[in-house]
Structure 1
Amino acid sequence: MTTRTGGAGSREAAKAERRRQLLDSAKGLFARYGFRAVRLGDIGQGAGVSGPAVYRHFASKEAVLSELLVGISTYLHSGGERIIAEGRPPRETLAALIDFHADFALTEPELIRIQDRDLDALPDAERRSVRRLQRQYVTAWAGVVADVHPELSQEAATVRVHALFGMVNSTPHLSRRLPPAVVAQQLRASARAALGVE
């Protein structure tokens, strides 16, 4: 008897891969041209599919933007919570958070650009979700910073976290002009120095 393989599983894998290709196309286009200047057909073309075929995966251009921005906010929030839950000493936890966020900034500069410029284009519910996840991420970080520096109030620790994010999120754009390895090394070293965990 012959056993058939593939079938529904391979179709689902192909569908997931096509969805990933569409999101990658959208990420590059939104970052370069801005959300409002990009059409759904442009996203499909960038992924090698026709405009109408995009609707099999996303109902609208706003749905694509939502998946990108809610998705990355969920990733950061979950990653931060996972690191903190590991229960290491505060300085080690903070160092791990810094490495985690630096890795994000170095690998996803396009999403940072889209977040900065196009967050207001999200539907209200999704925009609130992004803001809520971001607040929770900052609050979690601030708790660890306050554990490392007990002389700081929660408010002061929160300011330091926001300042660090501003530095880390803007620095990867330099990798276009400077060696990426140098940018990565100095970014992590600067972030650790800024929060006193050298």
Structure 2
Amino acid sequence: MASRTDAPTRRQQILREAARLFAERGFHGVGVDEIGAAVGISGPGLYRHFPGKDAMLAELLVGISGQLLTGARRRLSEADGHADASAVLDSLIEGHIDFALDDRPLITLHDRELDRLRESDRKLVRQLQRQYVELWVEIVRKAHPALTEPTARSAVHSVFGLLNSTPHLGRAGTLPGRAVTATLLHRMARGAFAAAGA
């Protein structure tokens, strides 16, 4: 998979524009021709990359769930016992904030369109998300040993709600700046975990 600094492939361009358009106008409010026009190819040309809009939606929602889990596992692997649980939790929060700030349309898409996926794809999204939550719960409990498992799980879901609120913060140009917003979100997330254990 290309990193954020690599030039996006045509397939990645299509997915990015599809996510933006679906988030802005809804899945049924966007046609294949419009997605094609956004990336400079004919609508029918999209079928060389995807069999249809349903496949794009599935790849977007399954894909981001898998990327979040893979990224979190990578952060844990990089720590490899050399960092304390609090530092690992900071790293997990930073990773989720990157997603929340850089992939805002996917948050909107997940909230609005998840039920449009085939049952098998929806189950896969939920499975990946459960694994992601459990990974967080384990680290949160290590960083905050006083938390019971149900409380830690509730706190994790609450923090996800906080971090995933970025589509409601206003247009990208109206935010106080990425670094300032990221710092604020990080401080609020850590504060929520600390409050859960108070």
Same fold by TM-score greater than 0.5: yes
Aligned residue runs from structure 1 range 1-198, under 5 A: 17-85=9-77, 86-87=79-80, 88-171=83-166, 173-176=168-171, 177-181=174-178, 182-196=180-194
Output the amino acid matched with 2:177.
P
Deviation track 1:120-154 (CA, whole Å, cap 9, x = no partner) reads 11111111110100010001100111111222121
Structure number with greater Rg is 1
In the alignment, the residues of structure 1 paired with residue 95 and residue 89 of structure 2 have an alpha-carbon distance, to the nearest angstrom, of 10
* Unpaired runs of at least 5, structure 1: 1-13
RMSD: 1.8
Q: Is the 8 A contact 2:75 2:91 kept in 1?
A: yes
**What is the number of equivalent residue pairs in this alignment?**
183
Q: Is the 8 A contact 1:25 1:43 kept in 2?
A: yes
* Unpaired runs of at least 5, structure 2: 1-6
The ranges of structure 1 where at least 4 consecutive aligned residues each deviate by more than 3 angstroms after the TM superposition are none
Shift of 1:172: 5.2
In the alignment, the residues of structure 2 paired with residue 172 and residue 117 of structure 1 have an alpha-carbon distance, to the nearest angstrom, of 12
Structure 1 match to 2:4: none
Q: Is the 8 A contact 1:26 1:64 kept in 2?
A: yes
Could you tell which deviates more after superposition, 179-188 or 119-128? Answer: 179-188
TM-score scaled to structure 1, two decimals?
Answer: 0.87
Change (3 A) 1:105 1:139: same
Q: Is the 8 A contact 2:61 2:110 kept in 1?
A: yes
